[in-house]
Amino acid sequence: MSGVKSGHIAVIGLGPGGAHQVTPEASTAVAGAKWFYGYGPYVDRLELRPDQVKVGSDNREEISRAKAALEKAALGERVAVVSGGDPGVFAMAAAVCEAIEAGPKEWRDIELSVVPGVTAMLAVAARTGAPLGHDFCAISLSDNLKPWETIEKRLDAAASAGFVIALYNPISKARPWQLGRAFDLLRSRLPAATPVIFGRAAGRPDERIEVTPLGQADAGQADMATCVIIGSAETRIIERGEKPALVYTPRFSNPGPEAST
């Protein structure tokens, strides 16, 4: 017999910021939960009913937050853990899985659903055209949970292999130099004209999108609300006069368009 009552935990992605970018599935999951665990600003985005309870916590407390949510669900409660963007991309879905793996056996009996959301790189890419139109990867530049040497190796391998790279967690007060170092490394692998997109606060009122050639990209153009997309050698810019330029990566690789439509 399981020691867990019929609790449920939903790990929900709230999208990049705008209420219009929350999926109907995420809204339904929010309506179905009572207890809401998450980083304070994400929990504060929710407009909850009087019977629903917010339990906000600090940015770096992912594992203790996941444990607290699982403890509550194990009591038979309907619990939500919320993330910005998609909960499976550098966010709470992995923290909840880590807590389940390391936690009491009973936690494996808790009903779990992961509700996807629009992740930052997709929201930023959509603002500029189709920079992720061909092979790409996502790398978190945070060296809080992995060594910097690993990040450099991955940047080097990704750029050398022709991937477009979406950088999450590019810079913060505690990590001021990493993005500049990443640009230096990438400049030794990619042409100076490679487009770099600084997509800040995509989907929010304070959104700002800038496109800069890699040769001139400056870490000061990013903050912790920015997703940086670095093109591959094949990423192009289409100038359109008064209209913003389009940045896109064609679906075919050089030497030419062999693909059918």
Ligand X SMILES: C[S@@+](CC[C@H](N)C(=O)[O-])C[C@H]1O[C@@H](n2cnc3c(N)ncnc32)[C@H](O)[C@@H]1O
SS3 at position 225: coil
Order of strands, edge to edge, in the sheet holding 236-240?
A: 129-130, 243-248, 236-240
Q: According to CB under 6 A, which one of 182, 225, 230, 247 is a site residue for ligand X? A: 225
* Shortest distance, position 12 Cβ to ligand X, whole Å: 11
SS3 at position 215: helix
Amino acid at the residue 117: G
Does the footprint of ligand X cover residue 95 (CB under 6 A)?
no
Which residue's CB is nearer to ligand X, number 89 or number 115? 89
Q: According to CB under 6 A, which one of 10, 82, 100, 119 is a site residue for ligand X? A: 119
- Under 8 Å between Cβ of 37 and 79: yes
Which residue's CB is nearer to ligand X, number 12 or number 124? 124
Measure Cα distances from 185 to 33, 140, 219 in Å: 45, 16, 13
Which residue's CB is nearer to ligand X, number 126 or number 224? 224
Q: Interface with ligand X by CB under 6 A: which range of 71-79, 197-205, 210-218, 250-258?
A: 197-205
Instruction: Round to whole Å and give the CA distance between 6 and 78.
Output: 9
- Under 8 Å between Cβ of 220 and 207: no
Quick one: which H or E segment has residue 172? none
* Shortest distance, position 196 Cβ to ligand X, whole Å: 14
- Under 8 Å between Cβ of 36 and 48: yes
Q: Which of 85, 108, 106 is nearest to 96 (CA)?
A: 108
Q: According to CB under 6 A, which one of 178, 226, 235, 249 is a site residue for ligand X? A: 226
Does the footprint of ligand X cover residue 129 (CB under 6 A)?
no
Which residue shows structure tokens 């609300």?
Answer: 225
224 CB-contact burial (10 Å; exposed 0-12 / middle 13-18 / buried 19+): middle
Interface with ligand X (CB under 6 A), residue total: 26
* Shortest distance, position 133 Cβ to ligand X, whole Å: 19
Q: Interface with ligand X by CB under 6 A: which range of 61-69, 143-151, 188-196, 198-206?
A: 198-206
Q: Interface with ligand X by CB under 6 A: which range of 3-11, 104-112, 223-231, 238-246?
A: 223-231
Contacts with ligand X, 9-28, as mask; x by CB under 6 A = -------xx-----------
Does the footprint of ligand X cover residue 199 (CB under 6 A)?
yes
How far from the centroid of its chain's Cα atoms is residue 2's Cα? 35
Residues that bind ligand X (CB under 6 A): 16-17, 83-86, 89-91, 119-120, 123-124, 168-170, 199-204, 224-227
